[in-house]
Amino acid sequence: MKTWSELTEIQPLASRIMTNSIQKDRISHAYLLQGERGTGKEAVALLLAKTLFCSNRSGVEPCQECNACKRIDSGNYPDLHWIEPDGQSIKKEQIEHLQKEFTYSGMETDQKVYVVKGADTLTPNASNRILKFLEEPSKQTTAILMTENSSSIIPTIRSRCQIIDLKPLHPQAFQEQLIHQGISRRSAVLLSTLTNNLDEAVSWSEDEWFAQARKLMIQLVETFSTNAHDAYLFIHQQWLPHFKERPQQEQGLDLLLLAFKDILYYHIGRKDAMTVFAKDDAAIENLVLFFSQEKLLDILNKLLDAKRKLKQNVHPTLVMEQLTIQIQG
């Protein structure tokens, strides 16, 4: 996605909005790009920055050749500022740096562009500091905020940005891409539900850890149905040692969520939509017999609860223990 025309194929609407405003020279002072992982938020931000800084662009397309374009790609353009979450959230110092930059003149040009990645991780304090700038933009300054979770952006910020919605990628098209990369259809289906990013999906499919994680997930679901009392032990002996880091724990819950969703799909006869289990898997019939529909709905709710708790920094061991007991009961 290096040009606006390439972007049009994936995000027709967003691309239209942006190119039109460039052509009519009506670029907004702030954009809020919202869309899931891999929908091209960063590509849009980079393209917009290049369009603004490129010294010999043709029409709306930046040249990709000039010094400014190259330095934007390598992250060395002095008037383009990237703010990324440092760990869990965007820290106060980062916003202070940004505020300082707001008050200085540009280094090479009068144009300044600020990109805030993961704008949902701004603490309320930090968002309010940014507000000040969004309210009184200095001339020739463009802010680009990116988020996967648009609902956690405070309304005062939303109302001051032009919101660009990036459509989720078409899962079938993505699966085809993955199969094209030499990934088996079953893995492709599973991976496409977990990520929209092609590179990430390919690296996962080759990752020993991910294969093991998937195996553990199926084992855990089966343990619940055959030997519920062992589940607690299983969590401690197998699950927790494998899912160590926070992103891994979240992924583990995602996998469980998919598995239970599959069982529910089997119940209601939507066998085509299943992602983890194959249609004719013997295992799933046992599981369907064991879990009732009401029970499954309850489990899904509990899983979503557990995900939320992880996000709120509840200790992961406790989250998993509670979840196990809830599913057992």
Partner 1 sequence: MKFIVQRQQLISSVQDVMKAISSRTAIPILTGMKIEANANGIILTGSDSDITIESFIPAEEDGMINVEQIEEGSVVLQARYFPDIVRKLPDNTVEIESDENFNITIKSGKAQFNLNGQDANEYPHLPNLQAENSFDIQSDLLKDLIKQTGFAVSAMETRPILTGVNITIENETLHFTATDSHRLASRRVPLEGVTSDSSNIVVPGKSLNELNKILDDTGEKVEISVMNNQILFRTKYLHFLSRLLDGNYPETSRLIPDQSQTVLHVRTKELINTIDRASLLAKEERNNVVKLTTKDNQLLQITSNSPEVGQVAEEISVQSLEGENLKISFSSKYMLDALKVIENDEVIIKFTGAMRPFVIQPADDDAILQLILPVRTY
**Which residues lie near partner 1 (CB under 8 A)?**
67, 70-71, 74-78, 81, 96-97, 99-108, 110, 138
DSSP lists the bridge partners of residue 261 as none
Report how far residue 106's alpha carbon sits from residue 5's, in angstroms, rounded to the nearest whole number. Answer: 30
CB of 78: closest distance to partner 1 in angstroms?
A: 4
Question: Least separation, in Å, of the C-beta of 189 and partner 1?
Answer: 39
How many Cβ atoms are within 10 Å of 156's Cβ, its own excluded?
Answer: 13
The Cα–Cα gap between 257 and 300 comes to 6
Cβ nearer to partner 1, comparing 7 with 126:
126
**From the CB of residue 161, how many other CB atoms can be counted at a distance below 10 Å?**
20
Closest approach, Cβ 134 to partner 1, in A, equals 16
Query: 67 vs 301, which CB is nearer to partner 1?
Result: 67
Least distance to partner 1, CB of residue 104, Å: 5
Question: How far is the C-alpha of 176 from the C-alpha of 164, rounded, in Å?
Answer: 27
Say whether 30 sits in a helix, a strand or coil.
strand
Which residue, 74 or 313, has its beta carbon nearer to partner 1? Answer: 74
Q: Give me the residue label for tokens 């802010």.
A: 143
Q: How far is the CB of 95 from partner 1 (least distance, A)?
A: 11
The strand pairing partners of 296, in sequence order, are none
- Select 19 or 94, whichever has its Cβ closest to partner 1: 94
Name the strands in the sheet holding 162-165, side by side, starting at the edge strand that comes first in the sequence: 80-83, 112-116, 141-147, 30-34, 162-165
Bridge partners (DSSP) listed for residue 61: 58
Q: How far is the CB of 217 from partner 1 (least distance, A)?
A: 40
Nearest to partner 1 of 56, 226 (CB atom): 56
Q: Residue 78 or residue 168: which is nearer to partner 1 going by CB?
A: 78
Dist CA 68 CA 57 (whole Å): 11
Minimum separation from the CB atom of position 54 to partner 1 (A): 14
Tell the residue number behind the tokens 């405070």, with chain if given. 154
CB of 125 to partner 1, least distance (A): 14
Rounded Cα distance between 228 and 324, Å, is: 9
Q: CA–CA separation, 116 vs 30, rounded Å?
A: 11
C-beta closer to partner 1: residue 141 or 196: 141
The DSSP code for 245 is S
- Of 119, 123, 194, 128, the residue nearest 151 (C-alpha): 119
Query: Is the Cβ of residue 126 or residue 263 nearer to partner 1 in the bound state?
Result: 126
CB under 8 Å to 262, separation ≥6 — which residues? 274, 275, 276, 277, 284
Q: What is the CA radius of gyration of the chain?
A: 23
- Smallest distance, partner 1 to C-beta of residue 203, A: 24
Nearer to partner 1, 102 or 210 (CB): 102
